[in-house]
Structure 1
């Protein structure tokens, strides 16, 4: 029988894989090795919220991503996919968490109210997704890659607005993820730096340098060279674990030294186009 924490990891995995359907409580009970008489109490004790509250928060998070970053998706379709029988019920639930109607959020996203509601889930993810981290490190030769870059400077909590702007620029310039690889350059650890000093680059690969523009998009280059790489599968909430592993455990035990370029990510597949627990991110640490 699996240990206590592993059981609830399975519960969360099942929930994330089935956000589009009515959840089978009997199946969740089986995964947790608990009878229905104890399941809800144990879930509340482990998650810090009821299992249905967890489901609601995860569904509304995905809905917010779709509203902000997938402008061609209809609100009524998002409502139905989120498990609501009517547009009105979805709007009430969404506004309770985001202080905006879905329509208002779609036109002008504000993530600030969301963070206070999501904090318990963030702590939960950080705790349970450590077990999902793939610590298999490979050393590869990364090719020189020309990238179009939008520099986000300032609080991580406003990063969503920069992401939205960069997605719109990519659409206008016909650089979808299927045609142009998606990268992020990570300059700072948001846990140890003042919010106003946080730096994060949103990037996509391009074939030719772009001209000076009013959108603040810059030409940059990811240089060729060796990189240690870990493939992370799952939510961004747990990205810190493999990043810290590369710096604190793998690097000191290896024969490599760091190159003069920040750690960077390649987004192979990402939420909300895939389920959050199926997102794939390759983490590259430049070494020599």
Structure 2
């Protein structure tokens, strides 16, 4: 498959995942069909289910059921459920009994056995000294909302050279903040040492060595405003944010994680 075609396919699969995530609690009904999702992916139904499963590790409808049940569990643990039947219907099940069977199959316990969980709070900031690390990357400059397309191309290039998934540890190197017109400059990168080979079409660079405040981001990859980050870093650690690229290291083991499943570490350069 040609690079451009594979990249477009990955973009469309990401759009399908985003579509599912944004409709879990309403418009995406239990009668959702593969034809609808295949249309978002711009593939035939026959090819769509296979392609999605190969990339995401699960079929699209398994993803819908899994994420709906995960959402239901969060609502229970947050104390936001007043009726099990209403929760079942919102999760795409015709009865509380059917919902409970599916819930037990996924989590090993009945929904009624769960109780409200205390808020775990924000993970503490840690200071880490990062050595210089070689990277292979695709440069990107444009609207922030389009930046993920650089990572789609990055994955496509690695896939075309049969690089195993476990060696594709992704990093985002942000070289400038978003400007008033929405433009951002960054590098979509993979660690050279883990790759073990040169990937055609990628440039070579280095993650800069130095001291970083490492902040765990959960439930999305969005970077908070730098003044807010600097204030929090100083308050929690006594270190001061300084000039330099801001890095992100992505930790999800599978592609197309839902928003709530997204995990990454944000590296902000600091000094004493």
1:131-170 correspondence to structure 2 within 5 Å:
134-170=122-158
In structure 2, the CA distance between the partners of 1:132 and 1:199, relative to structure 1 (3 Å rule), is: farther
CA distance in 1 between partners of 2:29 and 2:244 (Å): 39
CA distance in 2 between partners of 1:153 and 1:165 (Å): 14
In structure 2, the CA distance between the partners of 1:249 and 1:51, relative to structure 1 (3 Å rule), is: same
Partner of 1:231: 216
CA distance in 1 between partners of 2:60 and 2:196 (Å): 41
Q: Is the 8 A contact 1:233 1:277 kept in 2?
A: yes
Length-normalised TM-score, structure 2:
0.53
Q: Is the 8 A contact 1:145 1:224 kept in 2?
A: yes
- Number of residue pairs aligned between Structure 1 and Structure 2: 185
Partner of 1:108: none
1:251 aligns with 2:227: no
1:80 aligns with 2:56: no
The counterpart of 1:205, out of the listed 176, 191, 195, is 191
Superposed displacement of residue 228, structure 1: 0.6
In structure 2, the CA distance between the partners of 1:79 and 1:140, relative to structure 1 (3 Å rule), is: closer
Deviations 1:138-158 (A, max 9, x none): 111212210101011112233
Length-normalised TM-score, structure 1:
0.50
**SS state at 2:156 partner:** helix
In structure 1, the gaps of 5 or more residues are 1-15, 21-46, 85-130
CA distance in 2 between partners of 1:269 and 1:76 (Å): 17
CA distance in 2 between partners of 1:211 and 1:271 (Å): 23
Partner of 1:179: 167
In structure 2, the gaps of 5 or more residues are 1-16, 54-58, 66-118
Partner of 2:244: 261
In structure 2, the CA distance between the partners of 1:211 and 1:269, relative to structure 1 (3 Å rule), is: closer
Give the CA RMSD over aligned residues: 4.3
Superposed displacement of residue 52, structure 1: 0.9
Deviations 1:74-111 (A, max 9, x none): 26865534659xxxxxxxxxxxxxxxxxxxxxxxxxxx
CA distance in 1 between partners of 2:41 and 2:155 (Å): 13
In structure 2, the CA distance between the partners of 1:262 and 1:181, relative to structure 1 (3 Å rule), is: same
